[in-house]
Amino acid sequence: MPRTLLIAGNWKMNKTATEAVELIKAIVPAIGKQTDINVVVAPPFTALQSVGENLVNSTVNLGAQNVSEKPHGAYTGEVSTAMLRDLHVTHVIIGHSERRSYYGETDAIVNKKTLAALENTLKPIVCVGETLAERESAKTFEVIGQQITVGLANIPANQFANVIVAYEPVWAIGTGKTATPAMAQEVHAFIRAQLAKLQGEAAAQKTRILYGGSMKPDNADALLAEADIDGGLIGGAALVAKDFIALVESGKKASARK
Ligand code: PGA
């Protein structure tokens, strides 16, 4: 069984609820009925409700950009898995490099959030990736090995099918610098081998591994053609309706060839 490709848009801290509706209304008519691949949009928390209302009767899924590891209670400013589920959120981005570097999220926190998401049937999109300094000092595999081993520890085997990994080299995020398809493929294959160590080869073969970091309509075809690249996590280009639509079209083309 080939893996179903996934194209996910990470809107980051962009778009008010009102602006988000404008963007989703420009996207859904073009790709809201396709079933060849999976599509997720992850607006800010404040726009989940309004975007979600515009996804009813479409095949586009709703994602969040973060979630609390705690179920409920006195945690000012946090949002729980149950709150997301109630808004029909199906996916949640966890451990994005911006959360790691600006908000101190460690691999241990990423693990807790991942387990909390899975327990409440949210599909976690767990982000890993090396900084430029780590790549230049030949630490890429060591860093990513650690992020995977700790971040994805203790996941019950029957929940692992819901895990999605995103490889996002930090030096490629929002910089216009993309990993070459060969560079990305090398890390994706390494990640799959780490997943096999944790959960066995069959589970690893079923897990989607997305690429993220300046993925755009003009470089997506080459990246998505690689054997272990199962989709994209897209920032900047996900805020431009025609670019996001083009990326979904690239995903459909790549899926037909895989
Ligand atoms: P970018 O962001 O596409 O703007 O590089 C990707 C991401 O951070 O998920």
Q: 235: domain CATH number?
A: 3.20.20.70
In a domain, 250, yes or no: yes
Nearest atom within ligand 1 for CA of residue 175: 5
For residue 12, the CA-to-ligand 1 centroid distance in Å is: 9
Give CA–CA dist 58/42, Å, rounded. 15
| pLDDT above 70 coverage of the chain, percent | 100
Q: How many CA atoms lie within 13 A of 66 on its CB side?
A: 19
What pLDDT does 26 receive? 98
In a domain, 88, yes or no: yes
In a domain, 200, yes or no: yes
Chain centroid to CA 43: 13
What pLDDT does 177 receive? 84
How are beta strands 164-167 and 231-234 bridged, if at all? unpaired
Instruction: Determine the structural domain holding residue 20 and report its residue range.
Output: 6-257
Alpha-carbon torsion, ordered 177, 169, 114, 192, to 10 deg: 120
CA angle 86, 80, 169 (to 5 degrees): 110
Nearest atom within ligand 1 for CA of residue 173: 5
For residue 198, the CA-to-ligand 1 centroid distance in Å is: 27
Q: Are 72 and 127 in contact (CB under 8 A)?
A: no
In a domain, 52, yes or no: yes
Lowest mean per-residue pLDDT among 123-137, 139-153, 172-186: 172-186
In a domain, 165, yes or no: yes
Give CA–CA dist 7/59, Å, rounded. 12
Take atom 6 of ligand 1 and give the residue whose Cα is closest: 235
Lowest mean per-residue pLDDT among 20-24, 174-178, 186-190: 174-178
pLDDT in tens, 156-171: 999 999 999 999 999 9
Domain count, the chain: 1
Q: Burial letters for 90-101: b for 16+ Cβ neighbours within 10 Å, e otherwise?
A: bbbbbbbbbbbe
Confidence grade of residue 34 (pLDDT, cut at 50, 70, 90): very high
Ligand 1 neighbours, Cβ below 6 Å, are 10, 168, 173-174, 212-215, 233-237
CA angle 232, 235, 240 (to 5 degrees): 105
| pLDDT above 90 coverage of the chain, percent | 96
1 pLDDT more than 80: no
Active-site residue list: 96, 168
In a domain, 1, yes or no: no
Most ligand 1 atoms within 8 A of CB, residue of 41, 234, 243, 250 to mutate: 234
Nearest atom within ligand 1 for CA of residue 237: 3
Q: Are 239 and 247 in contact (CB under 8 A)?
A: no
For residue 184, the CA-to-ligand 1 centroid distance in Å is: 15
For residue 172, the CA-to-ligand 1 centroid distance in Å is: 8
Give me the chain's average pLDDT, please.
97
Take atom 2 of ligand 1 and give the residue whose Cα is closest: 235
Global pTM exceeds 0.95: yes
What pLDDT does 178 receive? 85
56 pLDDT more than 80: yes
What pLDDT does 202 receive? 97
In a domain, 54, yes or no: yes
Q: Are 90 and 130 in contact (CB under 8 A)?
A: no
